[in-house]
């Protein structure tokens, strides 16, 4: 929530003058996250867990939709098309196919949930690809990525806890969550060794 809130805040027209909108954020990743949250939270309408659960689902969808709108429509001029080029079809298609093959239950909601779990684990790839192409990440982008990466990494601790105390585990969520966290690891290394020391992330050319 902090990461997504940061992004909306930094892209919000009230908060920053249009020219200050942070560059270096991948619009493609933001679209993938929006698709992820919509596909996963369709049960908002059918399955009430708690106020917190519903509130966070609404926040995730609303904030990522706002970010996509601000980046790709309102501040389209500042969006860096040239460096945000990873083909998302090559991420969406395999996730969709895998969701049809490996899932807990062959029902529309379950398939969409599974697709969303697989998609989230690779949704950051366009962003990491863009950082490698631009060769650097703005500090605020680094904070955003760190928050986004640690969100799923912390879930791994929760899954371990629930395995030992509730004897509950969801293998699909765990495998995808581990893959997702591993994808962030090289970024975590850069974040901790550089950004926290006040430096910017500049990747070797």
Partner 1 sequence: SPTTEGKDEL
By CB under 8 A, name the binding residues for partner 1.
43, 46-47, 49-50, 53, 56-57, 60, 104-105, 107, 109-110, 113, 155, 158, 168, 170, 173
CB of 109 to partner 1, least distance (A): 5
CB of 15 to partner 1, least distance (A): 26
Altogether, the residues listed in the chain come to a count of 205
Nearer to partner 1, 43 or 138 (CB): 43
CB of 120 to partner 1, least distance (A): 10
Query: E strand or H helix at 123, and its extent?
Result: none
DSSP annotation of 205? -
- Smallest CA-to-CA distance from 70 within 123, 129, 14, 121 is with 14
State CA 103 to chain mean position distance: 21
Nearer to partner 1, 28 or 152 (CB): 152
In terms of DSSP H, where are the helices of 102-170?
108-122, 125-134, 139-165
167 φ/ψ sector (left φ>0, alpha ψ -120 to 50, else beta): left
Residue with tokens 């690779």: 122
- Smallest CA-to-CA distance from 130 within 121, 119, 138 is with 138
- Smallest CA-to-CA distance from 125 within 173, 89, 71 is with 89
Nearer to partner 1, 108 or 204 (CB): 108
Nearer to partner 1, 24 or 152 (CB): 152
Would you call 22 helix, strand, or coil by DSSP? Answer: coil
Nearer to partner 1, 54 or 132 (CB): 54
Nearer to partner 1, 75 or 144 (CB): 144
């Amino acid at each position: 929530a902090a990461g997504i809130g940061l992004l909306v805040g930094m892209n919000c027209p009230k908060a920053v003058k249009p020219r200050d909108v942070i560059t270096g954020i991948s619009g493609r990743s933001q679209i993938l996250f929006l698709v992820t949250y919509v596909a996963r939270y369709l049960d908002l309408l059918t399955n009430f867990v708690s106020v917190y659960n519903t509130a966070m689902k609404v926040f995730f969808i609303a904030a990522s939709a706002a970010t996509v709108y601000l980046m790709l429509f309102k501040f389209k001029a500042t969006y860096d098309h040239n460096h945000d080029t990873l083909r998302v079809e090559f991420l969406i298609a395999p996730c969709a196919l895998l969701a049809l093959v490996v899932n807990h239950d062959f029902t529309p909601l379950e398939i969409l949930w599974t697709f969303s779990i697989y998609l989230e684990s690779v949704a950051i790839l366009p962003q990491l690809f863009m950082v490698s192409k631009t060769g650097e990440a703005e500090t605020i982008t680094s904070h955003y990525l760190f928050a986004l990466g640690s969100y799923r990494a912390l879930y791994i601790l929760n899954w371990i806890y629930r395995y030992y105390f509730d004897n509950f585990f969801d293998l699909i969520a765990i495998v995808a969550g581990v893959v997702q966290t591993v994808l962030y690891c090289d970024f975590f290394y850069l974040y901790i060794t550089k950004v926290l020391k006040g430096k910017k992330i500049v990747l070797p050319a």
